[in-house]
Amino acid sequence: MTVQTVRTQPFLDQKPGTSGLRKQVPTFQQPHYLENFIQSIFDSVEGCQGQTLVLGGDGRYYNRAAIQIILKMAAANGLGRVLVGQGGILSTPAASCIIRKHQAIGGIILSASHNPGGPDGDFGVKYNTGNGGPAPEKMTNAIFERSKVIDQYKILDASDVNLDRIGTTTLGGTRVEVIDSVTDYAALMESLFDFDQIQQFLTRGKFRMCMDALHAVTGPYATAIFERRLNAPAGTVQNGVPLEDFGGGHPDPNLVYAKDLVKVMFGDNAPDFGAASDGDGDRNMILGRNFFVTPSDSLAVLAANATLVPGYRNGLAGIARSMPTSQAPDRVAAKLGIDCYETPTGWKFFGNLLDAGKATLCGEESFGTGSNHVREKDGLWAVLFWLNILAVKQQSVEDVVKAHWATYGRNYYSRHDYEGVDADRANTLMENLRSRLSGLQGQTLGGYTVAYADDFSYTDPVDGSISSKQGIRIGFEDGSRIVFRLSGTGTQGATLRLYLERYEANPANHDQDPQVALADLIQLADEVAQIRELTGRPAPTVIT
């Protein structure tokens, strides 16, 4: 086995986005494309020689091939040990857990999260640091800079590793340990939640649940935890076998893409509880019988009830939410007398707050919820948290949420996505808005008086770093908000996201359809930003 040094030329488009480098599979399959990016990572991580690296992905097309390449490059670059999930499978939260538990220097996670997979679908590479969380911007920038000048990479000339058999082999001087994908993660869940109580709840009464893994990475985790450890009936987990193209589906747990689950949960004789997760297992959608829990509300409910759960019995240090997430969690934090942090979109901004002990729970409107147990959002963790709360309260999902609104008021909330819009048009829309911001304050628009209008900028309270241009916010005097931003995870054209929020204190008005409750603001957003005219789209692609 010899180390080969391969000459290469830089690709100029390897800038990591919201969540690592995401491109379509054929882009990654170009000669040297993946190798250049991986070498740029190894060149940017100081002192990786002799260290442990965690490696795995969501099982999508190109996962296995990429893992073989990365293993040989890790060996050529002098890593001491690589822990790789069996079959190349590691969910994003499991990878985070394993990095932390085994004191790895970091991990490489292969996923394009909720984007479709298959030969023409998307693929992605993300580097996580030793705390288990996504690399901070300083580091992703360093990787990008390196990728622009790289002229060679190192790879071991060796045969492929058997990824399906658990055990240890060596590649050059590197130990490659193929580990069970689920064990460490399941143990962590058991340390946080009252598994006995959840088990009784799932097996002794009439409670029925349905978990849709959307043929993505959560399948093996959910089957092991719900059906084997917690004894839920076989069939509780649906679409539980990970497929390279997710069965042709779009592995995103929302009302549009998880339509089979939605049909069951809103049909006759629906189960009591439904949940879904995304391609790489970090997102979650929570449903009750004929009832949808908005992710922002979900974070608020978990925070308000956290002390019912063993892992959070001592209370929360603080809550963090991304800027576009509704302000429902802020109300819980105010009542608990703890801080609520508002960060830019993307999980990487939560890491410092969690590491510094400033926040315990965090979440995003985009179906992401998590805590200080790992440094990623965590789909199954959220499902178990809900089950634990329901088991203690012996109430339905709808009852728990409605009681929450009665106490705190309801933040009506919705996100409208315009996907695959022409990038120039989307940029024009944002630029037009930006140029109008300074004149908006104090103006009355459609009956709403503008309290502030800005392009969100965040100063990290731990390291002082500043992230600017994180989304345009127009806030009104009654607390309502409209937020506009462009997606940082798409791979084709641009995706415009419009976020809408209105607060309603009176419980007598809590039963409206959010699209009706927000109708004025939806219209106002179109007037202010000329969305329909500039995107050429009569309506959003996805409404959540």
- Return residues touching ligand G1P (CB under 6 A): 18-19, 113, 322, 345-347, 364, 366, 368, 487-489, 497
Contacted entry of ligand G1P, Zn ion, none for residue 376, CB cut-off 5 to 8 Å set by kind:
none
CA distances from 286 to 180, 382, 481, 513 (A): 27, 8, 24, 18
Q: Does 113 bind Zn ion (CB under 5 A)?
A: yes
Contacted entry of Zn ion, ligand G1P, none for residue 128, CB cut-off 5 to 8 Å set by kind:
none
CB 133 within 8 A of CB 140: no
Q: How far is the CB of 397 from ligand G1P (least distance, A)?
A: 23
Q: Does 376 bind Zn ion (CB under 5 A)?
A: no
Q: How far is the CB of 206 from ligand G1P (least distance, A)?
A: 35
Q: Which is nearer to ligand G1P, 116 or 271 (CB)?
A: 116
Q: How far is the CB of 86 from ligand G1P (least distance, A)?
A: 25
Look at residues 95, 470, 507 and name the one whose alpha carbon lies nearest to residue 282: 95
Q: Which is nearer to Zn ion, 52 or 495 (CB)?
A: 495
> Which string of x and - marks every residue 271-310 that binds Zn ion (by CB under 5 A)?
-------x-x-xx---------------------------
Q: Which stretch binds Zn ion (CB under 5 A): 26-34, 70-78, 105-113, 524-532?
A: 105-113
Q: Which residue has its beta carbon closest to ligand G1P?
A: 487
Burial 488-526 (b: 16+ CB within 10 A, else e): ebbbeebbbbbbbbbbbeeeeebeeebeebbebbbebbe
Contacted entry of Zn ion, ligand G1P, none for residue 212, CB cut-off 5 to 8 Å set by kind:
none
Q: Which stretch binds Zn ion (CB under 5 A): 99-107, 110-118, 134-142, 495-503?
A: 110-118
Q: What are phi and psi of 208, to 5 degrees?
A: -125, 135
Active-site residue (options: 44, 91, 111, 113):
113
Q: Which residue has its beta carbon closest to Zn ion?
A: 113
Q: Which residues contact 386 (CB under 8 A, 6 or more apart)?
A: 273, 275, 286, 298, 302, 397
Q: Which residues contact 196 (CB under 8 A, 6 or more apart)?
A: none
Q: Which stretch binds Zn ion (CB under 5 A): 109-117, 161-169, 450-458, 535-543?
A: 109-117
Q: How far is the CB of 167 from ligand G1P (least distance, A)?
A: 33
Look at residues 194, 238, 254, 227 and name the one whose alpha carbon lies nearest to residue 384: 194
Q: How far is the CB of 218 from ligand G1P (least distance, A)?
A: 14
Q: What are phi and psi of 340, to 5 degrees?
A: -125, 120
Strand order, beta sheet including 481-486: 444-445, 448-455, 472-476, 481-486, 494-504, 410-421, 542-543
Q: How far is CA 390 from the centre of its chain?
A: 24
Q: Which is nearer to ligand G1P, 18 or 29 (CB)?
A: 18
Q: How far is the CB of 113 from ligand G1P (least distance, A)?
A: 5
CB 324 within 8 A of CB 342: no
> Which string of x and - marks every residue 320-339 that binds Zn ion (by CB under 5 A)?
--------------------
Q: How far is the CB of 93 from Zn ion (least distance, A)?
A: 9
Burial of 184 (0-12, 13-18, 19+ CB in 10 A): middle
Q: Which is nearer to ligand G1P, 140 or 345 (CB)?
A: 345
Q: Which is nearer to ligand G1P, 86 or 284 (CB)?
A: 284
User: Which run of H or of E encompasses 187?
Assistant: helix 183-192
Contacted entry of Zn ion, ligand G1P, none for residue 347, CB cut-off 5 to 8 Å set by kind:
ligand G1P
Which SS3 state, helix, strand or coil, does residue 490 take?
A: coil
Active site annotation includes 113: yes
Q: Which is nearer to Zn ion, 113 or 294 (CB)?
A: 113
Q: Residue ranges of the alpha helices (H) in 223-294? A: 259-265
Q: Which is nearer to Zn ion, 122 or 280 (CB)?
A: 280
Type of residue at 278: D
Q: How far is CA 187 from the centre of its chain?
A: 22
Integer Cα distance of 342 and 323 in angstroms: 5
Catalytic residue list: 113
Please give the residue ranges that form the binding site for Zn ion (CB under 5 A): 113, 278, 280, 282-283
